[in-house]
């Protein structure tokens, strides 16, 4: 009899627990919801349970009902930026989400240069601590975890951006969010989901990698590591898939160093990753990324080839790239310490391209357009150089010119309008020009606004450092 009574009590308690509304961790107090959007709120409850969701910004109530798999979801219309607000959910239990802001939400992802924080040695963050109370920024940090299959929840919670919470948060992400928030005068929510050392395959659904023979073959070259996943989909399943119901404005990305050995497939890999993310979110959101910085890799020109692959990703719609070669003062450090300017450049890109503000050429990097040979000189024209170019210093660095023998010699450069005229006494009839096309070379060509010229080569010859004079 006692056993039966105990079983009955446990059954009642279990039933009560099962009946409670549950929410994914990404939906919680302190969050930022994307403004002026049809935003999804979702969770779990007992099958058939009815739930009422009330939003304080319009005092409207919408109804939801858990299906046979215990899932429920509703769409709510968010107003323009503002807050704080509350959302009240009522079923068998009541949940009140408070201190909610409405604004712009961005995902910050990639490997260690996106991950790097104050705790990793980005000491400039210390100077930000005193001003954080004036910022309407909220942080969600996704912990490092993997899964063989896509997950529907992730550990973590939204936090106010104070000195304690910021210390372990992406420095690039923070500087991006700070400058975006100030330019738009709206709250910004930042979701940091990154893992140092990870190749892009880990952030791409396994099926998408397996379906492309060249990507599948390249993925096999990623050797297993003790400190990060390399298996296709493992980071995506655990650190991106749980977020895709959450409405976002866009993504910033800083990754590529771990894919230098397979640079020839990187363009296709990133395009595949972008496409898979956009399909998962059901939104062609902007994807802005950082071209990897100069660094002395062990193999010849692998860094240059990866940067070249990243340039080709610009052909994908709604993408943008920032160059950071001028921010590097130590090419033996794969983690350049200047993260503030990286975040500022990404923010300026978003402010202009996504939000349509300050849309002049000052935020753009001059990009190779064409080459014209005239006798012993080569004229290079650029996109994004309408106001002209400059050489930072007495003479141009890291620019080479070659003729039919494919031997590259250091070249002299003269600025001409929105282009440059390149020549060398050693090359009577030039055919090709290369600029900053090496692992660790740092050039000094820039726009009048100070934005560095994107590294380039005008040829498709086999790269070989033994032909560099």
* Res 4 pLDDT > 60: no
What pLDDT, on the 0 to 100 scale, is given for residue 3? Answer: 52
> What is the C-alpha separation between 168 and 182, in angstroms, rounded?
22
Cβ count near 236 (within 10 Å): 30
Q: What integer is the mean pLDDT of 81-90?
A: 98
Q: What integer is the mean pLDDT of 236-263?
A: 98
As to burial, measured by CB atoms within 10 angstroms (0-12 exposed, 13-18 middle, 19+ buried), residue 299 is exposed
Question: Which CATH number belongs to the domain containing residue 77 in this structure?
Answer: 2.60.40.10
- Higher per-residue pLDDT: 462 or 255: 255
Q: Name the residue range of residue 16's domain.
A: 2-100
Listed range (128-132, 136-140, 205-209, 347-351) with the worst mean pLDDT: 128-132
Number of helices followed by number of strands (H, E) in the chain: 10, 23
- Higher per-residue pLDDT: 300 or 344: 344
Last residue of a domain, one of 298, 327, 359: 359
Q: What integer is the mean pLDDT of 27-40?
A: 98
Same domain, 312 and 450: no
Same domain, 352 and 317: yes
> What is the C-alpha separation between 433 and 382, in angstroms, rounded?
13
Same domain, 65 and 147: no
Alpha carbon separation from 138 to 78, 162, 392 (Å, rounded): 17, 9, 38
Last residue of a domain, one of 66, 100, 134: 100
pLDDT digits (tens, 9 = 90+) for 195-225: 999 999 999 999 999 999 999 999 999 999 9
Closest by CA position to 137, among listed 81, 181, 79: 181
Same domain, 55 and 93: yes
pLDDT band at 463 (very low <50, low <70, confident <90, very high): confident
Across the chain, mean pLDDT equals: 94
Same domain, 273 and 132: yes
pTM: 0.94
What pLDDT, on the 0 to 100 scale, is given for residue 7? Answer: 47
What pLDDT, on the 0 to 100 scale, is given for residue 102? Answer: 98
Q: What integer is the mean pLDDT of 379-383?
A: 97
Beta-strand runs (E) in 277-402: 287-290, 319-322, 367-374, 377-383, 389-391, 399-402
Same domain, 309 and 389: no
What pLDDT, on the 0 to 100 scale, is given for residue 327? Answer: 97
Same domain, 350 and 377: no
pLDDT band at 133 (very low <50, low <70, confident <90, very high): confident
* Res 465 pLDDT > 70: no
Q: Output DSSP code: residue 219.
A: H
Question: Which CATH number belongs to the domain containing residue 262 in this structure?
Answer: 3.40.50.1110
Q: Please give the tally of structural domains in the chain.
A: 3
Same domain, 150 and 215: yes
CB 343 within 8 A of CB 176: yes
Closest by CA position to 301, among listed 384, 400, 219: 400
Same domain, 279 and 291: yes
Last residue of a domain, one of 67, 100, 133: 100
Same domain, 96 and 112: no
Longest dimension (CA), the chain: 104
* Res 135 pLDDT > 80: yes
Same domain, 41 and 127: no
pLDDT digits (tens, 9 = 90+) for 325-378: 999 999 999 999 999 999 999 999 999 999 999 777 689 999 999 999 999 999
Same domain, 89 and 113: no
């Amino acid at each position: 009899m006692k056993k039966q009574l105990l079983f009955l009590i446990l059954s009642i308690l279990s039933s009560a627990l099962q009946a409670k509304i549950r929410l994914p961790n990404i939906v919680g107090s302190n969050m930022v919801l994307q403004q002026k959007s049809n935003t999804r709120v979702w969770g779990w409850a007992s099958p058939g349970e009815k739930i009422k969701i009330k939003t304080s910004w319009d005092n409207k109530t919408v109804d939801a009902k858990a299906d046979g798999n215990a899932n429920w979801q509703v769409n709510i219309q968010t107003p323009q930026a503002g807050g704080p607000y509350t959302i009240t959910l009522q079923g068998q239990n009541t949940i009140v989400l408070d201190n909610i802001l409405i604004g712009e939400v961005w995902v910050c992802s990639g490997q260690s240069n996106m991950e790097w924080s104050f705790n990793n040695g980005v000491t400039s963050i210390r100077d930000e601590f005193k001003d954080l109370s004036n910022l309407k920024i909220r942080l969600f940090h996704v912990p490092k975890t993997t899964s063989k299959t896509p997950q529907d929840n992730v550990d973590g919670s939204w936090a106010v951006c104070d000195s304690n919470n910021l210390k372990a948060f992406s420095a690039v992400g923070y500087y991006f969010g700070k400058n975006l928030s100030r330019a738009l005068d709206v709250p910004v929510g930042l979701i940091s989901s990154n893992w140092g050392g990870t190749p892009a395959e880990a952030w791409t659904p396994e099926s998408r990698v397996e379906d492309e023979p060249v990507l599948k073959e390249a993925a096999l070259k990623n050797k297993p590591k003790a400190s990060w996943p390399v298996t296709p989909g493992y980071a995506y399943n655990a650190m991106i898939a749980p977020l895709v119901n959450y409405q976002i404005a866009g993504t910033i990305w800083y990754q590529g160093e771990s894919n230098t050995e397979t640079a020839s497939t990187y363009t296709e890999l990133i395009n595949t990753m972008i496409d898979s993310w956009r399909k998962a979110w059901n939104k062609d959101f902007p994807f802005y990324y950082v071209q990897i910085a100069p660094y002395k890799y062990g193999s010849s020109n692998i860094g240059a080839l990866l940067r070249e692959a990243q340039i080709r990703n610009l052909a994908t719609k709604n993408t943008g790239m920032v160059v950071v070669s001028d921010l590097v003062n130590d090419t033996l450090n794969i983690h350049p310490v200047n993260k503030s300017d990286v975040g500022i450049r990404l923010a300026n890109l978003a402010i202009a391209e996504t939000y349509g503000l300050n849309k002049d050429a000052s935020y753009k990097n001059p990009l190779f357009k064409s080459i014209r040979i005239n006798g012993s000189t080569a004229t290079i024209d650029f996109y994004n150089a309408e106001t002209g170019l400059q050489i930072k210093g007495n003479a141009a660095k890291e620019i080479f010119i070659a003729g039919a023998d494919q031997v590259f010699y250091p070249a002299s450069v003269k600025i001409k309008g929105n282009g440059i005229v390149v020549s060398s006494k050693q090359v009577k009839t030039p055919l090709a020009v290369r600029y900053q096309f090496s692992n660790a070379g740092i050039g000094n060509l820039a726009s009048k606004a100070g934005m560095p010229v994107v590294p380039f080569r005008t040829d498709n010859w086999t790269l070989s450092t033994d032909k560099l004079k």
